[in-house]
Every structure is written in C-alpha cells, then in structure tokens.
Amino acid sequence: MNFPSVEPLLSSFGITPKDVSLYEMALTHSSVNGSANTNHHDYERLEFLGDSLVGLVVGELCFLYHPEMEEGDLSKLKAQFIQTDSEASYGLALGLDEYVRVGPSFKGDVKINHPLLEDVFEAFIGAMFLDQGKEKAYEFVRNVYEKDVAGAVVEEKKNPIGELNEAVQADLAKPVSFHEISEEGPSNERYYVFSVVFDGNEYGRGGGKSKDAAKAAAASEALKKLAHHNEELSDLSKEDLFSLFLNANPEWRK
C-alpha cells in the first residue's frame, strides 16, 4: 500500500524528525496490519504515551489559569478538553486526518470518526515525545491547548438524547427511536453508528466507541439540524423550534 509521506506535515510544525517511522506508526490504524502482514504496527502503544502527556499538560494549564476553581471544577474542566470530541477536533485542526493510514477492511470516513482521530492525536504526541524529547512535546501540547484552556468555563453536562426527546414529545407526544446502522472494528476497538428516527424518518446519525455514545452523537446531530433550520429564532424554546421545523418540512411528519 502506498501512503502519503508525513514529511510535509512534520515540516508544517517545524519538526525535523530523527525517526520518521515513529510518526508513520502514530498515523497508522490497526486495519493496516492485515494487509501488510504485520503485528501491532499501529498507533495503539504510542496513543497510551501521548494520552499521559496530554492529560498532564491540560491539568497543569487548568490549575495555573483557573485559581478560582476548586478540585471538582478543575476535574470537570480538564475532562472537557481530553474527551473524544475535543481531542478529535484538535486532530482535525492540525491536519492529521489527511495523513491517517487505513487498510482495506476499514469502513467509513476518517474525518468524522472521532474515536480514531482522538487516538491519532494522542499517538502523534507520543511519537513526538520519543523523537523530539519531552520538552519539545510539552511545548507543542501547551501551544495547542493554552489559549482555549485559559478562556474556558466549566460546561454543564449535556444530555442530547433527553433534550431531543423533550422537544419531540412536547409537539407530538411520541419518543424518538434509535437504529443501529453499523458495528465495525476489532473487539478492543469497536465503533458503532446509530441513526435517530421518528415516525420512519431519519433525523441524524452519529458514531462512537459505545452504543450509548453513538446514540448521543446522533441526537446531537438532530438537535443541530433543528437549530440550523431556525437559527434566526434562537430565542425560542426547543419545543417551539421543533414545531416550526416540522411545519416547514411536512415530509418529515406523516
């Protein structure tokens, strides 16, 4: 299999690699092993190392920039930045998705597979730690997170499934349902995709490492569609938005 060189990516970060194979491994999904007849030549071990460094740096930044917070809020703030969607967004911002290596057995789109992007982001940091040293890796992670952590506040824990059900039942007195679309990956790296459905119509899809995470992602997508179609009416309740959305899209109501 021919994969694009990682040199342009490293050059964009000002990295002159001592061992480019570390970065190649950090960007290699386990699906490549089957085709290449290799064993564990993927990002999983590097992910473990990078996860530790990211957690350390983000924890330090939370502590330094938010002296007003007690331990509980500091833990919540840190969790916001090391959760799957957050790390995946940083991976996309850094352009790592353009260099991910997958095998023929991999199904789906790398750009929307947040668990994979999270793993690649952490593995890339792990590769940098081994190749460039801890100071360089520390500085890189700090630069990625510092501005965002400094200006962050603790967010209320979201319950997209509950919010969507509330909006639907307020207008139509019926709950939404979730349908499993696919289940992929090895036993230790399952990835599920679910759709959220009401009255036979699909409102959104989402994926995650667990069925509950995939359902929540699908519900979030449905809520985003409601907001997008009624963004000029942002001061209205979710129930009103949902009612207006269905009126504007009668094909979604039977």
Whether 196 and 107 share a structural domain: no
Better-predicted residue by pLDDT, 239 or 97: 97
Q: What is the pLDDT of residue 6?
A: 95
Task: Report pLDDT for 42.
Answer: 86
Let me know whether 118 and 14 are in one domain: yes
Q: 132 and 21, same structural domain?
A: yes
pLDDT of res. 226:
65
Alpha-carbon distance of 127 to 114, in angstroms, equals 20
Cα 90 to Cα 13, 61, 150, 171, 232: the distances in Å are: 14, 16, 16, 37, 29
Q: What confidence score (pLDDT) does residue 128 get?
A: 97
Q: How many angstroms separate the Cα of 210 from the Cα of each of 45, 46, 110, 160, 178?
A: 21, 22, 17, 15, 14
pLDDT range class, residue 197, cuts 50, 70, 90: confident
Output the pTM of the full model. Answer: 0.67
Residue where a domain terminates, one of 89, 116, 150: 150
Instruction: Tell me the backbone φ, ψ of residue 67, rounded to 5 degrees.
Output: -65, -15
Whether residue 207 is found in the same domain as residue 145: no
**Structure tokens given for 200:** 């036979």
DSSP 157: P
Q: Can you say how many angstroms the Cα of residue 249 is from the centroid of all Cα atoms in its chain? A: 30
Residue at token pair 């890189």:
140
Q: In what order do the strands lie in the sheet with 191-198?
A: 177-184, 191-198, 201-208
pLDDT of 251 higher than 60:
no
CATH number at residue 189: 3.30.160.20
Catalytic residue selected from 24, 47, 51, 87: 51
| Amino acid letter, 226 | L
Point out the domain boundary residue: 150, 178, 205.
150
pLDDT at 212: 87
Quick one: pLDDT at residue 233?
Answer: 42
53 and 127 within one domain: yes
- Cα gap 12→21, rounded to integer Å: 17
Residue among 52, 59, 57 at smallest CA distance from 76: 59
**122 is an active site residue:** yes
In this structure, what token pair is assigned to residue 78?
């840190």
The pLDDT confidence band at residue 232, using thresholds 50, 70 and 90, is: very low
What single letter denotes the amino acid at residue 47?
E
Range of 15-19, 188-192, 201-205, 240-244 with top mean pLDDT: 15-19
What per-residue confidence (pLDDT) applies to 12? 96
First-to-last C-alpha distance (Å) of the chain: 49
1 in any annotated domain: no
Residue 199: φ, ψ to 5°:
55, 40
For residues 154 and 9, the model is more confident at 9
Task: Identify whether 236 is part of a domain.
Answer: yes
> Would you say 105 and 31 are in contact if contact means Cβ atoms under 8 Å apart?
yes
> Is residue 87 situated within a structural domain?
yes
Last residue of a domain, which of 131, 150, 169? 150
Per-residue pLDDT for 67 more than 70? Answer: yes
At 74, which CATH number? 1.10.1520.10
Tell me the three state secondary structure of residue 154: coil
pLDDT digits (tens, 9 = 90+) for 128-185: 999 999 999 999 999 999 999 999 998 876 778 887 877 666 555 567 889 999 888 7
The CA dihedral of 227, 228, 229, 230, to the nearest 10 degrees, is: 50
Full residue range of the structural domain in which residue 247 is found = 160-252
Q: Which of 47, 87, 118, 122 is catalytic?
A: 122
Q: Is 51 a catalytic residue?
A: yes
pLDDT, tens digit, 9 for 90 and up, residues 72-128: 899 989 999 998 889 999 999 999 999 999 888 888 888 888 889 999 999 999 999
Give the contacts of 81 (CB within 8 A, at least 6 positions apart): 58, 62, 87, 145, 148, 149, 152
Q: Are 123 and 96 in contact (CB under 8 A)?
A: no
Q: How many domains does the chain have?
A: 2
pLDDT in tens, 18-65: 999 999 999 999 888 777 666 668 899 999 999 999 999 999 999 999
Check residue 230 and give its pLDDT: 44
